[in-house]
Structure 1
Amino acid sequence: MKQKKIIVCDAIHQKGFELLKSENDIEVIDAVGVDKEELLNIIGEADVAITRSSTDINEKFLNSAKNMKAIVRAGVGVDNVDQDGCSRRGIIAMNVPTANTIAAVELTMAHLLGTARSFTNANNHLKNDRVWKREKWYGTELSGKKLGVIGFGNIGSRVAIRAKSFDMDIVAYDPYITSSKVTDLDMTYTTNFDDILACDFITIHTPKNKETIDIISFDEIKKMKDGVRLVNCARGGLYNEEALYEGIKSGKIAFAGIDVFSYEPATDHFLLDLENICVTPHLGANTIESQEKIAIQAAENAISAARGVSYPNALNLPIKAEDLPPFVEPYLELVQKMGFLCAQINKASIKSVKIEAEGEVGEYVKSLLTFALVGSLKESIGDKINYVNAEFVANEKAIDTKFEAINNSSGYKNKITIRLTTEKGVTTVNGTVFGEDEQRIVGINGFKFDFKPKGKMIVVKNSDVPGVIADISSMLSSVGVNIADFRLGRDEHGLAMAVILVDENIDKKLVAKLNELDTCIWAEYAVI
């Protein structure tokens, strides 16, 4: 198997490097610290690049990246990534948006407490000025106060939960979620932005786009309570900075906690001249744990992209992710993995691909089809298949494609099914997402399972008789293959199916030996 090349352009946590180097089919090019002009001479051989803010993904970079299939920005911000340029060249641009969630949540709580008690000012007054003046630093308590949360996604919802433990009353504004996500937590959901402006504290957790830039400006601050306290640990420019300055200077805003600015580094920003403001230099992701998670997720995403299995958090898809509710996005990746699994189990010329969706995700079943096709065709076409040409290739090969929203009868809140028909027969895989992004395979060909669609696995259909597990385990052990997990499904007709997650690569000879077992109906090896 030809190795895929992943180039690491900027420093990431060592755990990310360890993960990349542990994969037999991946060659790692360590370009950390390489001069950016010299980098242009070596990226041409790479299939995937991992970058951070130090490397600009601009025209010069893209022109040099002749073999590039995907770019992973190890972090949330993609201001330095030319997404349109990537799209024109067929390069998938990705980021890692959730690895710093807890770090950002906890920094927000620090700023929330800071705005209530003026810790930074009190600290500086005593430590730097050597003045002991307790009466100058009266604060206010969080308990009993209203906190307005703008944006109730991964970070905003967790901030709200923590603030509620301080006995705060939470009012949430987010037009892109169902109200039950808020009300189920005994919090108030509103579609009236004025309800947010009436709160004692306000924090924002939205992406930066045309809807959210200056979402709080002069007019909004006028409507606020006197003595309101504002926090922004999301993106610079969500609060109009001139309006924020005037609001703090006039006393309308009692205190603000700001981690992000419209232009960074903000070492000479006018907000720094104000007393009643606590500022930090964009520290949202700056924890040891967060940096490790970012590196691991970036490495995992790069490996998946190099193999063509999936492109997690792709930013330049033909389907605009921002037009879909957040809960749909994990299903896009999941259905692609399901298609890839189907094609590895059922290796033959594809006749049809059908997607069925139950629950709320059924409204977006058409969007799932492209991803299912990319996954299904990857096994036979390889790197030539992508989101742009998937439907064209399917038509060219006379593959029948269908999608359907069906009644929810499975017991899952949302469930998707892919039916892959080949010359050999039909393979069906079912999947769902638990919580916000926990992907699971919950069925294969009618056998019930529950496992993550990730890693190396052997899928075996067999007669449900004693000794099968022992026979398989013994055979794997004899060739030094370690079993990481063993999932078993059974039916009422004397048959069973096993999904065996393993640590090592499996060769064709071992799969052939498994198929020779008297109890084995068929066995296949798959990597997701």
Structure 2
Amino acid sequence: MSKKKIVVCDHIHQKGIELLEKEKDIELVNAADIPKGEPLYETVSDADVVITRSSTDVDEPFLNAAKKLKAIVRAGVGVDNVDIEGCSRRGIIVMNVPTANTIAAVELTIAHMLGCMRAFPYAHNQLKLERIWKRENWIGNELKGKKLGIIGFGNIGSRVGVRALAFGMDVIAYDPYISPSKATDLGVKYTTNFDDILACDVITIHTPKTKETINMIDREEIAKMKDGVVLINCARGGLYNEDALYDGLKSGKIKFAGIDVFAKEPATDNKLLELDNVTVTPHLGANTVESQERIATQAATQAIEAARGVSYPNALNLPIKEDEIPPFVKPYLELTQKIGFLAAQVNKGAIKSIKVFAEGEIGDFLKSLTTFAVVGALKESLGEAINYVNAEFVAKERDISISYEKKSNISGYKNKIAVKLTTDKDVIEIGGTIFEENVQRIVEINNFALDVEPKGKMIFFRNTDVPGVIGDVGMILAKNNINIADFRLGRDEHGQALAVIIVDDDVDKKTISELAALKACISVHYAVI
């Protein structure tokens, strides 16, 4: 039996190397010290699986060289250095190791919290480096009795909450994509009002980095916070607007900030480093011996399973091999995922159920369609944490009901799919089809017949069907310098209309609020695909 070749491109903990070495059907090449570029390309040319960290760019030259590659394991969470789309086109499975550093990130968050409250780094430096003993300079604050606001209550945020409770803190969580019981069962208060978080003494953020969460804390949010607030970010750079954070710290509005991650790294010239009320670390969330060992052993195990073709844990993509499915299926899979993603943006809230319907031949692939729908719907809240392998598990963990149904072909389309998304707020059902030359179209939204390409920046505006609405909407968009690229309208038998407006420019909260204030408006939502 020929051995499967696994190449380790970057340094990982020795325990991972040892796991790979002891497998008799695996040929291990430890290429961590081989120069990047051509020497490494030559090494991976006949690899079945590679393990990488952040030092190796899995880009087009790398992929062109690795002609036999079946899978990539990113030993860590972030996959910014991996061309996932390029891998998918080549049928290469991309996996990461998303939970191995959970405890390390949780404890670093607590460390920053304590560091900020007691100014430990500065007291340490004054005594050790300057040899000055001035206790009166370092009057801190206790965590006990302070209100902690947690933004994002997943694996890390929830564990931070439990530990904060042990310090005697009053903990409140904001996460519109979970059931409130996920927080309240742990003794943590739950809120749907973001202003409740902004009123806290200490605020920590634990969300993925998505279009919704970038600059989630900006000048407007900081202005609403209490004077002397403490902010923590050990999640992703860019969740706090760094210019606004700098100004808030300099003015004293923010008493202290604990920052492990930056919008641009390495952050050796970041202006936040100039301030004396910031504790900073160089992206150390996963940097513990225990975490590094878990990352290495989990990455090695995943690589072995992938090399043998046994399983692909934490796969971030799903390779579509043209010879295994009819050609017409792939665009429907893509369309179903887009519709799920769109539905979750329009119908924000804790998802209760996802149901997929299909008419025509495409109905024979309902299970695969449903997986894509679930990934799309959960991607809005989980970002890169959701994938085609863990989708159903994550849905079950969140008490989301998943189902599908093949229906009689009565719509007039040769094939049609629809995703029905139910949250604690509302229900939305979006249907679509594929026309000639793989043209994707949304053809129905909650019984409103439309013809919309699922692409770009989209405003969904539902209103009572009265004269002048289109003009009013156009005037508000024009006033806010937003150009309309396309305007699609559907009407029903109950005196209502639904417009899907494709625009060229970003739409801010102010514009949405102005549209919502129109007398005829029933609901308005903004989504981007």
Fold match (TM-score > 0.5): yes
| Aligned with residue 363 of structure 1, among 401, 413, 419 | 401
Q: How does 1:2-401 map to 2 (within 5 A)?
A: 2-36=2-36, 37-317=38-318, 319=372, 321=375, 323-324=377-378, 332-333=389-390, 363-365=401-403
CA deviation after TM superposition for structure 1 residue 277, in Å: 0.5
Contact 1:315 1:321 in 2 (8 A): no
Equivalent pair of 2:316/2:387 in contact (CA under 8 Å): no
Amino acid at match of 2:312: Y
Aligned to 1:211, the other structure's residue is in SS state: coil
Give the Å deviation of 1:215: 0.5
1:330 CA drift (Å) = 9.3
Of all paired residues, the percent bearing the same amino acid is 66
Q: Structure 1 pair 261/322, CA: closer, same or farther in 2 (3 Å)?
A: farther
Structure 1 residue 111, shift from structure 2 partner: 0.2
TM-score by length of 2: 0.62
Q: Flag the 1:259–1:333 CA change in 2: closer, same or farther, 3 A.
A: closer
Deviation at 1:165?
0.1
Deviations 1:314-349, CA, capped at 9 Å, x for gaps: 2224637463377x969945989xxxxxxxxxxxxx
Change in Cα spacing, 1:271 to 1:138, as seen in structure 2 (3 Å) is same
1:225-263: CA deviation from partner (whole Å, max 9, x where unpaired): 100000111111110000000000000000000011111
**Aligned Cα RMSD in Å?**
2.4
Q: CA deviation at 1:22?
A: 2.1
2:402 alignment partner AA: Y
Counterpart code for 2:138: W
**AA of the residue aligned to 2:16:** G
Q: Residues 20 and 299 of structure 1 are in contact (CA less than 8 Å); yes or no, is this contact kept in structure 2?
A: yes
Shift of 1:310: 2.0
1:13/1:292 contact within 8 Å kept: yes
C-alpha contact (below 8 Å) 2:48/2:68 kept by paired residues: yes
Residue aligned with 2:80, SS: coil
The answer for unaligned runs of 5 or more in structure 2 is 319-332, 334-371, 406-529
8 Å CA contact 1:310–1:333 kept in 2: the answer is: no
**What do the CA deviations read for 1:74-122 (whole angstroms, capped 9, x no partner)?**
0111111111111111111111111111111111110000111111111
Question: Using the alignment, how far apart are the partners of 1:361 and 1:251 within structure 2?
Answer: 43
The structure-2 alpha-carbon separation of the partners of 1:361 and 1:185, relative to structure 1 and needing over 3 Å to count, comes to: closer
Question: Once the 2 structures are TM-superposed, how far is the Cα of residue 187 of structure 1 from its aligned partner?
Answer: 1.0
Distance change (3 Å), C-alpha of 1:32 and 1:117: same
1:29 partner SS: strand
Q: Once the 2 structures are TM-superposed, how far is the Cα of residue 11 of structure 1 from its aligned partner?
A: 0.8
CA 1:120/1:362 → structure 2, altered by over 3 Å: closer, same or farther? closer
Question: Contact 2:234/2:261 (CA < 8 Å) preserved in 1?
Answer: yes
Q: Partner letter of residue 11 of structure 1?
A: H
Q: Secondary structure at the match of 1:364?
A: strand
Equivalent AA in structure 1 for residue 40 of structure 2: L
Structure 2 residue identity aligned to 1:27: E
- C-alpha contact (below 8 Å) 2:375/2:391 kept by paired residues: no
Change (3 A) 1:361 1:67: farther
Aligned residues: 347
Deviation at residue 268 of structure 1 after TM alignment: 1.3
CA distance in 2 between counterparts of 1:315 and 1:58 reads 16
Q: 1:358 to 1:45 in 2, by over 3 A?
A: closer
CA shift digits 1:475-494 (9 cap, x unpaired): xxxxxxxxxxxxxxxxxxxx
d(CA) in 2 for partners of 1:302, 1:59: 21
> Judging changes above 3 Å, is the alpha-carbon distance between structure 1 residues 330 and 78 closer, same or farther for their aligned structure 2 residues?
closer
For the residues of structure 2 that align with 1:365 and 1:19, how far apart are their CA atoms? 39
Q: How far apart are the structure 2 equivalents of 1:333 and 1:246?
A: 41
Distance change (3 Å), C-alpha of 1:73 and 1:332: closer
CA contact 1:311–1:333 (8 Å) conserved in 2: no
* Worse-superposed segment, 249-258 or 20-29: 20-29
**Residue 456 of structure 2 aligns with which residue?**
none
| Separation (CA, whole Å) in 1 of partners of 2:11 and 2:166 | 37
Code of the residue aligned with 1:307 in structure 2: it is: R
Question: Which structure 2 residues correspond to residues 481-520 of structure 1 after superposition, within 5 A?
Answer: none
| Alignment map for 1:446-525 (pairs within 5 Å) | none
What do residues 113-165 of structure 1 show as CA deviations (whole Å, max 9, x unaligned)? Answer: 01111111111122222222222211111111110111111111111111110
CA gap of 1:334–1:151, structure 2 versus 1, over 3 A, is closer
Paired residue secondary structure (1:85): helix
The unaligned stretches of length 5 or more in structure 1 are 337-356, 368-528
1:16 Cα offset (Å): 0.5
Structure 1 pair 366/70, CA: closer, same or farther in 2 (3 Å)? farther
- Distance in 2, matches of 1:32 and 1:189, equals 46
Q: Which amino acid aligns with 1:277?
A: V
Q: Specify the SS of the correspondent of 1:49.
A: strand
Instruction: Give the letter for the 2:262 counterpart.
Output: F
In 1, Cα distance between the equivalents of 2:128 and 2:387? 49
Q: TM-score, normalised by structure 1?
A: 0.62
Distance in structure 2 (CA, Å) of the matches to 1:149 and 1:120: 24
Q: Give the conservation status (yes or no) of the 8 Å contact 1:70–1:306.
A: yes
The residue aligned with 2:464 is none
Counterpart of 2:25, as a letter, is D
Distance in 1 between the 2:181 and 2:388 partners?
Answer: 20
Task: Give 1:362 deviation, angstroms.
Answer: 6.5
Match of 1:449 in 2: none
SS at match of 2:162: helix
